[in-house]
Amino acid sequence: MTEDATIVEPGEERESFEELVKHTHSANELDTSAPPVLTVENLRMYFPIKTSLMRRTVGHVQAVDGVSFVVPKGGALGLVGESGCGKSTTGQLITRLYKPTGGSMTFEGHDLASISNREMKPLRRDVQMIFQDPYSSLNPRHTVGSIVGAPLRVHDVVPKNKTLSRVQELLEVVGLNPEHYNRYPNEFSGGQRQRIGIARALALQPKLMVADEPVSALDVSIQAQVINLLQDLQREFDIAFLFIAHDLAVVRHFCPEVAVMYLGKIVEIGDRESIYANAHHPYTQALLSAVPDVKQAATGGRRERIRLTGDVPSPIDPPSGCRFRTRCPIAQEICARHEPPLLQIGKRHKVACHFPGRLGEHPREPLTARLLGVDASGQPDPGASPATDLVEQPGYADTWFDLDGKTIGRA
Amino acid sequence: MFSFLVKRILSGSLIVVLVSVMIYALFWYGPKSPALELCRRDTNNRCTPAKLVEFEDRLGYSNPIYEEYGKWAKGLVADRTIIHGTSEYDCPAPCLGISYRDKSLVTDQFKERFPVTVSLAVGASALYLLIGVTVGVLAARRRGSVADKALVASTLVFSSIPYYLVALLSFLILTLSTSVFPEAKYVPFLDDPLAWFSGLLLVWLVMGLYGATAYTRYSRGSMVEALGEDYVRTARAKGLRMRTVVTKHALRSALVPVITIFGLDVAFLLSGTVFTEKIFSLEGIGKWGIDAVNIKDLPVVQATTLVLAVSVVVMNIIVDIVYSILDPRVRLA
Amino acid sequence: MSTAPTSGDPYLVVDDLTVRFPTADGLVQAVTGLSYQVELGKTLGIVGESGSGKSVSSMAVLGLHDRRSAQISGSIKVAGTEVVGLSEGRMRELRGNAVAMIFQDALASLHPFYKIGAQLAEAYRTHHPKATKKEARSRALEMLERVGIPQPDKRIDQYPHQFSGGMRQRAMIAMGLINDPSLLIADEPTTALDVTVQAQILDLLQDLQQEFNSAIIIITHDLGVVAEMADDVLVMYAGRAVEYGSAKEVLTRPEMPYTWGLLSSVPDVAADTNARMIPIPGAPPSLLDPPSGCPFHPRCAHREKVPGDLCRTELPELLPAVHGEGHLKRCHLADPEAVFAAEVLPEIAPEMVEEKR
């Protein structure tokens, strides 16, 4: 299966369109029965801001602030959002490039958030990362063989005399010529370099790959090659992906489940259908409507869209209450006073909004007021009894709040 | 800005103190003590152990190092009296000690010699910055042309000749044989500006032209890079004249790395130019220092080293300030 | 509705443009025999991957290539004036005045050392030598306000690094439009930006176009941007035009396998989940030694549908498409539209096929 992804060199005998199609994939599908491989709960990362002279901490960049999600075994969770939303930091926390400020990340019975760097070392084999920039993430002075072989040597997984043959095997798997192991990265194109990075990540047969914008630096025609390769590998080796990208369409194709982040928080999370066809958060809706659509060519001109004004606020001093309220088209008083809880509103769909609803059908009254024990404007309501179980849980509960019927839904 | 200056002056002072302690320790614990050197000289190489002890006592080497260093350091701020055996020397603050060789006050010597070195440094550095950057920019504009390649090659050839050879030949040919230039001499600027200028002109030209070869290469490289920047393309797309694009848009960015090297170069010039001063017989800091090292004249070596340390610290602060003026993204903190 | 590229009274006419750069490795054939035109009030989208010549050709319109290192032939007429071979002085009068250009990376394209206001004012004063500094500044302020920068009176005295990405691109647009150009060339204007900001910038460009009736060339690799912005589309590959026509024609009934490849490489946010992402095999060719015949043939999956070895031996001409008026394509396939409808569309957009039934 995998060697079919090999780049056909110009001049070689080539495959017909039907054969080409056979080696590609349609969108990945969700397997709801898969057990979790990674469970992240209330993950937080605050970077301190220090003054120059006294090194006194004067504030924090709340890069990630209470994020919870589950990555199923062999599955893929997409993390989308605009720059500065904390999606890349989340990925870096999972590979423990930083030690998180708080929360837990349970992987194979270990909490990656609290173990020491030494305890982390054996686990690094199982959690690998693919980087965005195929130019700066490969050492230009090392041969491809030594780049791909480095993790094998560091973790001592194959005997020294077998390293080369394993490296060649890996190069073949990612569609590169195995004879090219002694070449240097600058002899390869961007797409081929990204394949080298993937081969390196693959060397230790990880269970989880964190792919941070793996295709955004590549030419359009090459992006599809790499996505298909990742799909091949995922199926063959049963690797779970945390797929971080700003390109909503690519994420939709690769990830059966998606979390949308804004200013360090997840605002909406759910399966593909819930996010792309049934988004209930105004930010998700705005993101989706902002993506230019090729099909628009049929009618000409631009679609009606939700126009967000201004820029993302600073994560040093995020807005009170709901962090999206400063750019939100439907924000009301309560949004400044209370942070909306991430409510489950479908079997696999959660949204953090006081006024969740389909586009144009957002309710007038905050649905969350009763749960929070406040009135519609967010003032304390002595008559209401706040719900106590609003703590965010990773994964989904069996019961949820059905918005259409205003009842409790059940799986 | 204020907190930057405070921080940099504090850390700079610390560096200067550390350097002075190190020099002191080097002389104290070095393989041949200055006392032995002096003893040999004064006794025509018949220095007996008894004599040596006498010399060590006289120069203070029999006392603990911290005591002597303390005396020396105190002298920087307060008048002190230096006792060498039976002789006493008054040394008003800032006192840098007295030379072992001729018992002269180091401070007085310094005041006499530093202006020579400063004059050399200012003239030479101005010259090589001006010539180097101008030629470098012109070469960058014509990158790849025959003129550019010839220029790069000739600067390489020129700068691979040792400096002392260039200086010596210039002196021999231009002053001794042909008298195109008068013999180099230092006249204080305030006494006679014209004589100051003509007395040092040859030395400046030699230092300036030689140094300019390196600056031509630095600024050419940095200019080539700047001309390839996107904002230079934008400036051209606006319809600006090429001259404006080069001087206003590219040069300003190209200068930033050049200024950094320049600052350090000036600092080293300020601490003396040994070859230049020796060859042209100018009584500057460099010649003074090298002579003192030969006879282990600790107070003088200490003084010349401090000049270097202070110049490096001060020039670094100045470079950072200039940097922040050139590039608004740099915030001094 | 969009107009076919052959009608009307075009402001910019590029005819048989060829741009070559002699290098130590050989002659880089960056653009070969390129022709297109743009009318006032219309938008042309130029699509292609890196190295397709899309940026090189538009920089030639502004005469931005180094005269010593670029060999330019053919004709570029701006409002009837031939600019190929025009003197540097005359060219300078056009640049930033009648024809303005904005670039992809606004952070790198604005000078980091000068205030935004000063950079805008400089662009104005270059073409209005009689204007005082004060006039130039108030014009800069007016433009910053026009492109929707909040608190322009404060922002005018800030440096580019103090702006957010979207704001910088707005400032860049303000600078491009400060002299009321008739033609604006936008080279990947939204590539580095987040989608919501991209939408804002595209909205802004459209508003400004309606207000000033200028011609716009938008260079991009994003077919979605082209679909929403452009009246006409020019698809470039290896320095040549391979498909050219109205956006509607080219994007709904493409007749060149490279265009199909671009469409199938990019998933759609609203597509059927059964749709496949079908890559174009291989990598873009070297312009030092472009492939013989059709430059796309080494990567083309439909080559065997053309009899003989035609694709490899003979460069197809840019000829009218089988269907559609003013639609040009460069392909040997006898009936490309049929191949597209029968083979490609069902894989990349199954739902569209069902609609058609």
Q: Does A388 touch chain B (CB under 8 A)?
A: no
Nearest to C113 among B234, B240, B327 (CB): B327
Share of chain B above pLDDT 90, in %: 45
What dihedral do alpha carbons A88, A91, A96, A101 form, nearest 10°? 70
Q: Which of B91, B106, B121 is where one domain is finished? A: B106
Q: Decide: C208 and C214 in contact? Cβ < 8 Å.
A: yes
Position B257 scores a pLDDT of 92
Q: Does A52 touch chain B (CB under 8 A)?
A: yes
Residue C213 lies in a domain: no
Residues 2-41 of B with CB under 8 A from A: 3-4, 6-7
Assess whether B139 and B262 both reside in one domain.
yes
Interatomic CA distance for residues A149 and A161, integer angstroms: 12
Reported as a single tens digit per residue, the pLDDT across C212-246 is: 899 999 999 889 899 999 999 999 999 999 999 99
What is the amino acid identity at position A57? T
Mean pLDDT of the B186-193 span: 91
CATH code, domain with B251:
1.10.3720.10
Assess whether C256 and C347 both reside in one domain.
yes
Name the closest residue on chain A to residue C190, using Cα atoms: A292
Instruction: Work out the minimum CA distance from C172 to partner chain A, whole angstroms.
Output: 17
Q: Does B253 touch chain C (CB under 8 A)?
A: yes
For residue A57, give both structure tokens.
Answer: 């901490």
Residue B305 lies in a domain: yes
Residues 12-31 of A with CB under 8 A from C: 14-18, 20-21, 24-27, 29
Residue C21 lies in a domain: no
Instruction: List the domain range (segments joined by +) for residue C275.
Output: 252-356
Interatomic CA distance for residues A271 and A256, integer angstroms: 6
Assess whether B49 and B143 both reside in one domain.
no
Mean pLDDT of the C178-204 span: 90
3-state secondary structure of A161: helix
Q: H or E segment at C10?
A: none
Q: Does C92 touch chain B (CB under 8 A)?
A: yes
CA end-to-end distance (rounded Å), chain C: 26
For residue C291, give both structure tokens.
Answer: 């492939």
Closest by alpha carbon to A82, among A342, A271, A308? A308
Q: How many domains does chain C have?
A: 2
Residue C247 lies in a domain: no
- C-alpha B195, offset from chain centre: 23
Q: How many CB pairs under 8 A join A and B?
A: 8
Residues 368-397 of A with CB under 8 A from C: none
Measured CA distances, C119 to A251, C79, C175, C218 (Å): 39, 27, 8, 23
For residue B175, give both structure tokens.
Answer: 């002053």
For residue A231, give both structure tokens.
Answer: 């799909």
Position C3 scores a pLDDT of 38
- Band (pLDDT 50/70/90 cuts) for residue C1 is very low
Name the closest residue on chain B to residue A55, using Cα atoms: B333
Residue C25 lies in a domain: no
CATH of the domain spanning A2-255, picked from 3.40.50.300, 3.50.50.60, 3.90.180.10, 3.40.50.10440? 3.40.50.300
Q: H or E segment at B108?
A: helix B106-141
For residue A366, give both structure tokens.
Answer: 């905050």
Assess whether B34 and B72 both reside in one domain.
yes
Residue matched to tokens 């006032």: C40
Q: H or E segment at A67?
A: strand A57-72
Tell me how crowded residue C67 is: count the other CB atoms within 10 A of its CB: 11
Nearest to B230 among C62, C109, C122 (CB): C109
Reported as a single tens digit per residue, the pLDDT across B54-73 is: 888 888 888 888 888 888 88
Residues 289-308 of A with CB under 8 A from C: 289-298, 300-303, 305, 307-308
Nearest to B231 among C108, C123, C159 (CB): C108
Assess whether B188 and B163 both reside in one domain.
yes
Q: Which residues of A touch C54 (CB under 8 A)?
A: none
Interatomic CA distance for residues B239 and C90, integer angstroms: 10
Reported as a single tens digit per residue, the pLDDT across A289-302 is: 998 888 877 776 66
Q: Does A9 touch chain C (CB under 8 A)?
A: yes
Q: Which residues of B touch A53 (CB under 8 A)?
A: 3, 6-7, 333
- Band (pLDDT 50/70/90 cuts) for residue C178 is very high
Cβ distance A249 to C285 less than 8 Å, yes or no, reads no
What dihedral do alpha carbons A197, A201, A204, A209 form, nearest 10°? -170
Q: Does B327 touch chain C (CB under 8 A)?
A: yes
Q: Decide: A64 and A45 in contact? Cβ < 8 Å.
A: yes
Say which residue, B333 or A314, is predicted with more confidence.
A314
Residues of chain A with pLDDT under 50: 1-12
Say which residue, A16 or B233, is predicted with more confidence.
B233
Q: Does A55 touch chain B (CB under 8 A)?
A: no
- Residue B144 φ/ψ, nearest 5 degrees: 90, -15
Interatomic CA distance for residues C131 and B330, integer angstroms: 32
Position A387 scores a pLDDT of 65
Residue C334 has what DSSP assignment? S
Q: Select the residue from A52, A56, A58 to test the B interface by mutation, using most B Cβ atoms within 10 A.
A: A52
Residue A296 has what DSSP assignment? G
Residue B87 lies in a domain: yes
Q: Which of B106, B135, B151 is where one domain is finished? A: B106
Position B272 scores a pLDDT of 80
Position A386 scores a pLDDT of 66
Cβ distance C195 to A252 less than 8 Å, yes or no, reads no
Assess whether B162 and B15 both reside in one domain.
no
Position A134 scores a pLDDT of 78
Q: Which chains touch B (3 or more CB pairs under 8 A)?
A: A, C
Nearest to A221 among C197, C265, C304 (CB): C265
Reported as a single tens digit per residue, the pLDDT across C86-102 is: 999 999 999 999 999 99
Instruction: Work out the minimum CA distance from A139 to partner chain B, whole angstroms.
Output: 23
All structural domains of chain A with their residue ranges: 2-255, 303-410
For chain B, the average pLDDT equals: 89
Q: Which residues of B touch C122 (CB under 8 A)?
A: 238, 240
Buried residues in B23-39 as b, exposed as e (16+ CB within 10 A): bbeebeeeeebbbbbbb
Reported as a single tens digit per residue, the pLDDT across C270-308 is: 777 788 888 898 888 889 989 999 999 999 999 888 888
Q: Select the residue from B1, B2, B3, B5 to test the A interface by mutation, using most A Cβ atoms within 10 A.
A: B3
3-state secondary structure of C197: helix
Assess whether B149 and B242 both reside in one domain.
yes
Instruction: Work out the minimum CA distance from A81 to partner chain B, whole angstroms.
Output: 28
Q: Does C265 touch chain A (CB under 8 A)?
A: yes
Q: Which of C157, C177, C197 is where one domain is finished? A: C177
Question: Is residue B235 pLDDT above 60, yes or no?
Answer: yes
Name the closest residue on chain B to residue A50, using Cα atoms: B333
Sheet holding A36-50, edge to edge: A57-72, A36-50, A102-107, A110-111
Assess whether B168 and B225 both reside in one domain.
yes
Q: How many domains does chain B have?
A: 2
Instruction: List the domain range (segments joined by +) for residue B243.
Output: 109-326
Q: Which residues of C touch A216 (CB under 8 A)?
A: none
Nearest to C263 among A249, A276, A294 (CB): A294
3-state secondary structure of A241: strand
Closest by alpha carbon to A286, among C148, C221, C163, C194? C194
Q: Which residues of B touch A52 (CB under 8 A)?
A: 3-4, 7, 333
Q: Does B328 touch chain C (CB under 8 A)?
A: yes
Residue C8 lies in a domain: no
**Residues ≥6 apart with Cβ < 8 Å to B193:** none
Residue B332 lies in a domain: no
Q: H or E segment at B287?
A: helix B285-294
Residue C146 lies in a domain: yes
Cβ distance C112 to B238 less than 8 Å, yes or no, reads no
Cβ distance C224 to A291 less than 8 Å, yes or no, reads yes
Position C2 scores a pLDDT of 37
3-state secondary structure of A356: coil
Q: Which residues of A touch C261 (CB under 8 A)?
A: 221
Position C265 scores a pLDDT of 87
Residues 100-129 of C with CB under 8 A from B: 100-101, 103, 105, 108-113, 122-123, 126-127
Q: Does C224 touch chain A (CB under 8 A)?
A: yes
Q: H or E segment at B321?
A: helix B298-326
Question: Is residue B258 pLDDT above 50, yes or no?
Answer: yes
Instruction: Work out the minimum CA distance from B332 to partner chain A, whole angstroms.
Output: 9
